Amino acid sequence: MSQQLTWRCVDGRLALNGRLNHETLLPLWPQRDELIKGVSLLDVSGLEQVDTAGLALLVHLREEAIKQGQTLQIMGITDRLQSLISLYNLQQLVPGD
């Protein structure tokens, strides 16, 4: 059984921990638009694994922040996540730190 996804939002920083995949992101998905309000920093350094569904969520969070008039910086992108971002040619949509 994979580790569940956990998140914590404090002082404009949303930190994701665990595994971000199609199975674990389901509890977060209904809260995603509300959760990103007031967030300027998305910390993904605590993610052990991200699949394409997880990458889609990261893109969605960034786009939602833009719609809310915010700039969302993503920090802690691992080499594996960067490879996935590059594979799908999303460097412009998911800029790292």
Q: Is 45 inside a domain boundary?
A: yes
Q: How high is the pLDDT of residue 1?
A: 45
User: Which CATH number characterizes residue 67's domain?
Assistant: 3.30.750.24
User: Is residue 84 a contact partner of residue 53, using CB atoms and an 8 Å limit?
Assistant: no
In total, how many domains does the chain have? 1
Helix residue ranges, H only, 14-95: 32-35, 52-67, 79-87
Predicted confidence pLDDT, tens digits, the chain (97 residues): 457 999 999 999 999 999 999 999 999 999 988 899 999 999 999 999 999 999 999 999 999 999 999 989 999 999 999 999 999 999 887 766 5
Q: How high is the pLDDT of residue 96?
A: 61
Residues 88-91: contacts with CB within 8 Å, 24+ apart? 88/52, 88/55, 90/55, 90/59
Q: Is 39 inside a domain boundary?
A: yes
Q: Is 11 inside a domain boundary?
A: yes
- Segments forming the whole domain that contains residue 51: 6-87
Q: Is 1 inside a domain boundary?
A: no
